[in-house]
Chain A
Amino acid sequence: MASSTELTPTSYIDHHLTNLTVQVKDGAFWVLHVDTIVTSMILGFISFGFIWLVVRKATSGVPSKWQAFVELAVEFVDNEVKNTFHGNRHVFVAPTALTVFVWVLMMNAMDILPIDILAWVYEHVFGLHNWRSVPTTDVNTTFALALSIWFLMIFFSLKVKGFGGWMHELFCTPFGKNPLLWVLNLLFNFIEYVSKPLSHSLRLFGNIYAGEIIFLLLGMWAATGVTGAFFGAILGAGWAIFHILIVTLQAFIFMMLTVVYISMAHESH
Chain B
Amino acid sequence: MNINFTLISQAIAFSIFIWFTVKYVWPPLLRAIEDRQKMIADGLAAGERGRHELELASQRSSDVIKEAKQRAAEIVLQAEKRATEIIEEAKNTAKEEGERIVAGAKADIEHEMFSAKETLRQHVAELAIAGATKILRREVDLKAHADMLATIEEDFK
From A51, A58, A144, give the contact of B11 (CB < 8 A). A144
**Interface pair B29/A141, CB less than 8 Å apart:** no
Contact of B3 among A40, A59, A103, A143 (CB under 8 A): A143
Query: How many residue pairs bridge A and B at CB < 8 Å?
Result: 126
**A147 lies within 8 A of B29 (CB):** no
- A139 and B14 alpha carbons, distance in the complex (Å): 15
Segment at the interface with A among B16-24, B44-52, B86-94, B110-118: B16-24
Report how far A94 CA is from B26 CA in the complex, Å.
Answer: 8
Chain A interface SS verdict (over half): helix
Query: Is A190's CB within 8 Å of the partner chain B?
Result: no
Q: Using known A-B contacts A31-B2, A59-B32, A60-B39, determine if residue A140 contacts B21 with beta carbons closer than 8 Å.
A: no
In the complex, the answer to whether B35 meets A141 with C-beta atoms within 8 Å is: no
CB distance from B137 to the nearest CB of A (A): 137
**A 117-153 to B, binary, CB cutoff 8 A, 1 in contact else 0:** 0000000000000000001001111011101100000
A70–B24 Cα distance when bound, in Å, is: 14
Nearest-Cβ distance from residue A105 to partner chain B, whole angstroms: 13
Q: Which of A30, A61, A141 has the most CB of B within 10 A?
A: A141
The winner among B1, B21, B27, B36 for most chain A CB atoms within 10 A is B21
Please tell me the number of chain A residues within 8 Å of chain B, measured between CB atoms: 47
Given the complex of chains A and B, what is the CA–CA distance between A71 and B35 in angstroms? Answer: 13
Distance between Cα atoms of A96 and B14 in the complex (Å): 10
Contact A144 B39 (CB under 8 A): no
B10 touching A40 by the CB < 8 A rule?
Answer: yes
Q: Does A177 reach chain B (CB closer than 8 Å)?
A: no
Contact A103 B2 (CB under 8 A): no
The reply to whether the CB of B136 lies closer than 8 angstroms to some CB of chain A is no
Q: Is A74 an interface residue (CB 8 A)?
A: yes
Q: Is the CB of A148 within 8 A of B15?
A: yes
Is B5 within 8 A of A145, CB to CB?
no
Question: How far apart sit A148 and B17, CA to CA, in the bound complex (Å)?
Answer: 12
Measuring CB to CB, which residues of chain B are less than 8 angstroms from any residue of chain A? 1-11, 13-15, 17-18, 20-22, 24-33, 35-36, 39
A-B contact pairs, 6 of them (CB 8 A): A37-B9, A37-B10, A37-B13, A52-B25, A98-B21, A98-B25
